[in-house]
């Protein structure tokens, strides 16, 4: 009987040691899970600059296309966070994961004013060509978080402030839009520039430093495992650019639209504490 009681006491102590929640100074917590990204974007109208030459007699040096805009789809990805507690309350976090891929949709007609617009025009809103493109977004985030409550609290809300450097790769256009730009812009402009022949179309998106704000909470499942939920806002801006070039590489035209990508990220993560 004494042996059984001793074993029971040891088991209770062991379970208590395993389940006592704590996130304290020096702890490293690694979290992974699902992040859902919802851009709350707005964009400027598309502005096109034309290479000086004969073509500018028809279009002018540059022109705006009223009614044009770009939008970005929602997306989800696998997120990962490494969190180091500098004190019992202040933590340093590095957020990353699998870079998210977005679809880009277009609206409106890119065309110079007047009769020239009948000759040089691309319909960004054509349903057969949408989405008009795609891009992969890389947004590593460095953040300082303040965790409320005591280290042994089961439930700990937190706030965070940080920054991100965002850049884009795999920026591409749909086949339909690419062909329309080549046929309806590239070919006439190349002839006007005295450079007949095949033209090329290349898209790009600019990088950006941006502030990051976060509000979240963690719930300790036991001494090692926890759940974390957070809502994060990234104040991103990016210029989307399409360049049309002649066969010899001469730039014939450049169309640009500025995107204000006020992006919200909602995440649900499970964490392990390397105490």
H or E stretch at 176? helix 175-181
Q: How does residue 55 score in pLDDT terms, banded at 50, 70 and 90?
A: low
Query: For residues 31 and 14, which has the higher predicted lDDT (pLDDT)?
Result: 31
> At the topology level of CATH, where does 2-274 sit?
Porin (2.40.160)
CA 27 to CA 35: how far, in whole Å? 24
**In Å, what is the CA distance from 275 to each residue of 22, 81, 86, 227, 272?**
9, 16, 13, 16, 9
pLDDT of 152 reads 86
- Most confidently modeled range among 159-163, 195-199, 256-260: 159-163
Among the ranges given (144-148, 180-184, 269-273), the one the predictor scored with the smallest mean pLDDT: 180-184
pLDDT of 58 reads 61
Query: For residues 195 and 34, which has the higher predicted lDDT (pLDDT)?
Result: 34
Q: How does residue 12 score in pLDDT terms, banded at 50, 70 and 90?
A: very low
């Amino acid at each position: 009987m004494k042996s059984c009681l001793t074993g029971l006491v040891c088991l209770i102590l062991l379970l208590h040691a395993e389940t006592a929640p704590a996130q304290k100074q020096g702890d490293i917590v690694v979290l992974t899970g699902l992040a859902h990204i919802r851009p709350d974007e707005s964009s400027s109208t598309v502005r096109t600059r034309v290479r000086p030459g004969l073509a500018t007699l028809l279009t002018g040096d540059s022109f705006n296309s009223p009614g044009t805009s770009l939008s970005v789809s929602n997306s989800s990805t696998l997120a990962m966070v490494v969190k180091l507690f500098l004190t019992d309350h202040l933590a340093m976090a590095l957020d990353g994961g699998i870079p998210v891929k977005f679809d880009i949709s277009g609206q409106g007609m890119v065309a110079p004013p007047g009769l020239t617009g009948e000759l040089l025009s691309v319909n960004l809103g054509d349903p057969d060509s949408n989405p008009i493109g795609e891009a992969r977004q890389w947004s590593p985030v460095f953040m300082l978080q303040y965790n409320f409550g005591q280290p042994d609290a089961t439930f700990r809300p937190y706030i965070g402030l940080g920054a991100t450097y965002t850049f884009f790769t795999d920026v591409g256009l749909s086949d339909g839009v690419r062909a329309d730009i080549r046929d309806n812009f590239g070919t006439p402009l190349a002839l006007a520039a005295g450079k007949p022949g095949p033209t090329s179309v290349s898209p790009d998106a600019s990088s950006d430093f941006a502030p990051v704000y976060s509000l979240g909470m963690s719930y300790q499942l036991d001494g090692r495992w926890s759940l974390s939920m957070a809502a994060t806002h990234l104040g991103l801006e990016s210029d989307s650019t399409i360049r049309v070039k002649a066969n010899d590489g001469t730039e014939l035209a450049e169309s640009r639209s500025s995107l204000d990508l006020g992006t919200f990220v909602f995440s649900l993560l499970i964490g392990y504490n390397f105490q």
